[in-house]
Structure 1
Amino acid sequence: MTTQDFTAQTKKLIDSLKGVCTSYGLGNDGNEFKIITQMFLYKFMNDKFGYEVKQLDSRLKNAESWEKEIAKYTDNEYEMLLYRMSPDSAKLKREHYLSYLHNKQNSEEFAKLFDDTLRDISIFNNDIFSVKTGTGARIILFDELSNYITDSSERDNFCRAIINPLVNFSFEKIFNQKFDFFSTIFEYLIKDYNKDGGGKYAEYYTPHAVSKIMASILVDKPVSNVTCYDPSAGSGTLLMNLAHAIGEDRCTIYSQDISQKSSSMLRLNLILNNLVHSIQNIIQGNTLLNPYHKSGDKLMTFDYIISNPPFKLDFSDYRDTLDSKQNHDRFFAGIPKIKDKDKEKMEIYLLFIQHIIYSLSPTGKAAIVVPTGFITAKSGIERKIREKLVENKMLRGVVSMPSNIFATTGTNVSVLFLDKANTKGDIVLMDASKLGTTIKEGKNNKTLLSVDEENLIINTFKSHEAKEDFTVIVSYEQIKDKAYSFSAGQYFDVKIEYTDITADEFHAKMSSFKSNIDCLFAESHQLELDIKKQLEKLFHA
């Protein structure tokens, strides 16, 4: 079976689960995404467990049904099998299997058995798969999904219906697939549940092209045993691209996000992409108010930071708390003021930029999506941050993206690249605003970059190549001379067009200019005389 065929089948499975939800009145319900993503994960974990135990025992690998063969194990043999599994693997009891639940469908109170099974899996794997809140509480892997059906008499039927699409499908043949496959599946899985406008903390999905460009430019050489951080991680698109560029087994992920929904999505993303070892570092909480990741009493610093923070949000309820002595160094450029007329437009992204700068290790690198207005603002917090980046010699470059690269917002964006080791300068400023093709996505226009255009941006930036009207390579001193502007356009050479002409043509043009000037002077003199006459008439009137 080809990857394309399996992708189509996987999407069909997701659609089947959504169809069940719709049939039971949960279509577009606030809890639908929990049911879809958690059932998808339950199936994935079942198949991954079967795949891994087969690698440990040839009897299971060669059996017609590994579940029937494993039923012959004694309790001690089964316990030893679980002990031999990878510490990052989900451990299942025999009564946790999907096949076990499927065979018990005719039992009374099947919904209770269904919920109890999922809850027991969560408890059995709590140390590996639970996400922590900023206060240390644990968000377990599965909810009691049947409780989302308001009519309790329909819960048994709903649980039977949601199990059935999973039975005749297997992930087993694609566990050797890598990031590109699972990123496509993940995007399809959450596409209806990661919309903007979802309340106070809107979640903007970073386009794959932007994520790829950011990660590819950040990781410019092989590294290992490094830390990666996103203080506003959302569903983890940026972190997954960064981990893939480094190598999933050569980095550890850290994140924090105020949204519980986003944290659950990120956990699923980590499981799909062989980054289970980092789930313990996924924190649901307010990064600005209560940053979680610390080393002793101080905030941790990271080798790589990648982020697309929210641009403008109301944080007036804790703004004054941030403006304290203990945050003076972290928010060195200041804290945006409360906007009385429209608090939703408070520039929260300026706090995230300062937090990221503060969280970089001595040789750390960062990539941050910012509104393009940030790179040229003449005063205020924006200017102070840019001055800091130049004075501390930690700016690596800026890429100004095409308009509408984010279909959900009309704000023009740029990507700010930082590198604490870039003390010599040689800064790349790029204007990629003319690239891309505009398409219609719903009511909005969206600009798509082709693979060739993505590679043009990445390769030109990494090679530090100056190209006319596209990139310019500048020093810190040049940026100071331009009032700390990070806009490539302000550094492009002004072009003057020259046309070669003969000496005779030159004299002819000059004679023509002289004649025209003589005529204009004559007209001017006549106007002076006319004005004087009119004034004389007024004087003698």
Structure 2
Amino acid sequence: MAEENRLPGTDTLADTKAMIDGLKTVCANAGLANDSSEYKIITEAFLYKFLNDKFLHELRQLDEFKGVENVERAYSVMDENDRELALMGLPEGTALLKPEYLISCLFQRKDMERSEKGGFAELLDSALAGIADDNVDVFSVKTGQGQSIRLFGGVSRFIVEEGKRDSFCAQLVTKLAAFSFERAFAQKYDFFAAVFEYLISDYNKDSGTYGEYFTPHSIANIIARILVPEGTRDVAVYDPAAGTGTLVLAAAHRIGEQNCTIYTQDRSQKANEFMRLNLILNNLVHSLPNVVHDDTLESPRHLAVGGNSIRKFDYVVSNPPFKADFSDTRNKLAGDAYQKRFWAGVPNITSKPEKMEIYLMFLQHIVASMEESGCAAMVVPTGFLTAKGKIPLAIRKRMVDEGMLRGVVSMPSNIFANTGTNVSIVFLDASSKHEKAILMDASKLGEKKKVDGKNQRTFLSDAEVERIVETFNAAETQEDFSVLVDYDTIKEKNYSFSAGQYFEVKIDYVDLTPDEFDAKLSEHMTNLQDMFAQGEKLQASIMEQLKGLRYE
């Protein structure tokens, strides 16, 4: 294919995926395929490569290095004072790497270190530790107690046989050195969203204990385009069960990465590591201090000034876990200290606590986290739209009675990678008092495809995404697809948010003359008489057969 006929970014994306596959091959050859440590090695190596290449990319933009053919060598031989002065010109959020931490430096030393000293694994781990230490103020995320979670932890420790660590680390560096992110830096959000999805595709399968690590890009795109109006600036976006950050990233891209600040919390360590990587890839390094690893329900860490109440946000997006065991904290959450936040109630502990409807807790937390003029979008199981239980009914009632329900979109089944639960998206808007809501049934859209040759997923086309977004934003009624319903009607139907309950039932009428009507009626009566006669014959035949059976 001629270079000029290639789609922009196509080769870069393919090359990036090939590099990721190469790293996974190194892990597989070391016996670490599907091992719990594999994702740590892959993500650390990938992030190391990205930061290394981004650092060199920014160096090339400085006056000191413009026109220099070998930037890495020029940087390495600089006087230390000159080097420090040059680094002050780098954009905020660029990781700083000493010359000895560059991948090219390690690559040149890998054979020497292995043959003469046997310490290449230690050399790589020291470089990773050094980068983490030198950039701890910018690139760390925090635990609920405020402790920094370091950028890198080293990779050789996952190889049990010490004698194989040098070779393993040398293979990783070889894969990294053979690839360059330089062309990728010209790409935008969609490119890095695809890279990120591919990178974590093998590592988001064990998320059922708390929530989804990854929300499909189509869902995130729909939410962002409906939730955020064009021209939005200087806002805070929050996700209390952020997973890998797909929803907040889509919202940030819609707003403009420099026009918003991201705040997230999630109790999964793996999810928070993925979140950090996602923010770095998408030019949201300034939001890293707001990524917190802790239980949002028990210990919300984003607080208002003074620390006596939770902070309110302009936009809240979330795909919370639907069911999970929170029996250990259930009684605490039902106490007086949490009553203001969990105003609709707390689900009881059941014989199967892993089935507790934890999403109802997050919905209440989300409503409590909205600014007075804030907006929210949350993924819910479709059963929530009509559930008659005390808690879901109280939540829906408040959304309507306070005039904040903007609308609902019910999605096709199997739209998510690792749940078969039918889902819907509820949109809230407290910026004005609504009197009507747009209810949409998009469950019949999409094309079902097998993923990995076994699991079936539904994929929305670009045209279908456009139809959902444009119809919703226009509050347009379309037959058997969307309906604009006034709040009084919703109240009459016990606060049901299901679009199907409000679709108009159409009856086709045919004009007939009296003679035509009599002829039709006579025809139907004749047909009925024939059917009755056939039924009587069949019944008589069955009775004869039964008599024969009794006689024998």
TM-score w.r.t. length of structure 1: 0.92
Work out whether 1:240 is the aligned partner of 2:249. Answer: yes
Question: Offset at 1:94?
Answer: 1.7
Question: Offset at 1:512?
Answer: 8.2
Match of 2:80 in 1: 75
**What per-residue deviation string (whole Å, max 9, x for no partner) do you get for residues 9-51 of structure 1?**
1111111111111111211111111111111111111111111
Q: Does the Cα contact within 8 Å between 1:309 and 1:369 map onto a contact in 2?
A: yes
Give me the whole-angstrom Cα distance separating, in 2, the residues matched to 1:489 and 1:13. Answer: 47
SS in 1 for 2:242: coil
Change (3 A) 1:407 1:64: closer
Q: Does the Cα contact within 8 Å between 2:211 and 2:243 map onto a contact in 1?
A: no
Change (3 A) 1:502 1:150: same
Change (3 A) 1:97 1:511: closer
1:92 to 97, 117, 123: 97
Q: Where in structure 2 are the equivalents of 1:460-471 lying within 5 Å?
A: 460-471=471-482
Q: Where in structure 2 are the equivalents of 1:310-321 lying within 5 Å?
A: 310-321=321-332
Match of 2:512 in 1: 501
AA partner of residue 323 (structure 2) = K
AA partner of residue 424 (structure 1) = H
Match of 2:292 in 1: 283
Give me the whole-angstrom Cα distance separating, in 2, the residues matched to 1:170 and 1:287. Answer: 38
Match of 1:31 in 2: 37
Q: Where in structure 2 are the equivalents of 1:161-240 lying within 5 Å?
A: 161-195=171-205, 197-198=206-207, 200-240=209-249
Match of 1:55 in 2: 61
**What per-residue deviation string (whole Å, max 9, x for no partner) do you get for residues 298-355 of structure 1?**
1111111111100000000111111111211110100000012x11100000000000
Q: Does the Cα contact within 8 Å between 2:406 and 2:434 map onto a contact in 1?
A: no
Change (3 A) 1:198 1:460: closer
Give me the whole-angstrom Cα distance separating, in 1, the residues matched to 2:40 and 2:128. Answer: 13
Work out whether 1:266 is the aligned partner of 2:275. Answer: yes
Match of 2:136 in 1: 126
Q: Does the Cα contact within 8 Å between 1:118 and 1:144 map onto a contact in 2?
A: yes
AA partner of residue 420 (structure 1) = A
2:409 to 390, 399, 404: 399
Question: Offset at 1:445?
Answer: 2.4
Q: Does the Cα contact within 8 Å between 1:204 and 1:408 map onto a contact in 2?
A: no
Give me the whole-angstrom Cα distance separating, in 2, the residues matched to 1:242 and 1:37. Answer: 24
Give me the whole-angstrom Cα distance separating, in 1, the residues matched to 2:271 and 2:391. Answer: 29
Q: Does the Cα contact within 8 Å between 2:212 and 2:319 map onto a contact in 1?
A: no
AA partner of residue 49 (structure 1) = F
AA partner of residue 372 (structure 2) = P
Give me the whole-angstrom Cα distance separating, in 2, the residues matched to 1:203 and 1:461. Answer: 25
AA partner of residue 200 (structure 1) = T
AA partner of residue 301 (structure 2) = Y
Change (3 A) 1:387 1:146: same
AA partner of residue 459 (structure 2) = L
Match of 2:28 in 1: 22
Change (3 A) 1:504 1:88: same
AA partner of residue 183 (structure 2) = K
Work out whether 1:374 is the aligned partner of 2:384. Answer: yes
Q: Where in structure 2 are the equivalents of 1:474-513 lying within 5 Å?
A: 474-508=485-519
AA partner of residue 83 (structure 1) = M
1:64 to 63, 69, 80: 69
1:156 to 166, 186, 207: 166
SS in 2 for 1:306: strand
Give me the whole-angstrom Cα distance separating, in 2, the residues matched to 1:431 and 1:301. Answer: 31
Give me the whole-angstrom Cα distance separating, in 2, the residues matched to 1:42 and 1:471. Answer: 47
Change (3 A) 1:486 1:53: same
Give me the whole-angstrom Cα distance separating, in 2, the residues matched to 1:136 and 1:467. Answer: 51
SS in 2 for 1:287: coil
SS in 1 for 2:328: coil
Match of 1:530 in 2: none
Work out whether 1:330 is the aligned partner of 2:341. Answer: yes
Q: Where in structure 2 are the equivalents of 1:414-453 lying within 5 Å?
A: 414-441=424-451, 442-453=453-464
Give me the whole-angstrom Cα distance separating, in 2, the residues matched to 1:272 and 1:463. Answer: 34
AA partner of residue 137 (structure 1) = Q
AA partner of residue 316 (structure 1) = S
Question: Offset at 1:255?
Answer: 0.3
Q: How many correspondences in the alignment?
A: 515
Q: Does the Cα contact within 8 Å between 1:220 and 1:462 map onto a contact in 2?
A: no
AA partner of residue 274 (structure 2) = M
Match of 1:532 in 2: none
Give me the whole-angstrom Cα distance separating, in 2, the residues matched to 1:510 and 1:162. Answer: 82
Give me the whole-angstrom Cα distance separating, in 2, the residues matched to 1:168 and 1:22. Answer: 19
Match of 2:536 in 1: none
Q: Does the Cα contact within 8 Å between 2:382 and 2:410 map onto a contact in 1?
A: yes
SS in 2 for 1:104: helix
Give me the whole-angstrom Cα distance separating, in 2, the residues matched to 1:382 and 1:263. Answer: 29
AA partner of residue 63 (structure 1) = V
- CA RMSD of the aligned region, Å? 1.9
Q: Does the Cα contact within 8 Å between 2:213 and 2:244 map onto a contact in 1?
A: no
Q: Does the Cα contact within 8 Å between 1:234 and 1:266 map onto a contact in 2?
A: yes
AA partner of residue 317 (structure 1) = D
Question: Offset at 1:508?
Answer: 4.8
Q: Does the Cα contact within 8 Å between 1:396 and 1:422 map onto a contact in 2?
A: no
Give me the whole-angstrom Cα distance separating, in 2, the residues matched to 1:321 and 1:92. Answer: 46
Work out whether 1:3 is the aligned partner of 2:9. Answer: yes
Q: Where in structure 2 are the equivalents of 1:294-305 lying within 5 Å?
A: 294-295=303-304, 296=306, 297-305=308-316
Question: Offset at 1:503?
Answer: 2.4
Q: Does the Cα contact within 8 Å between 2:297 and 2:361 map onto a contact in 1?
A: yes
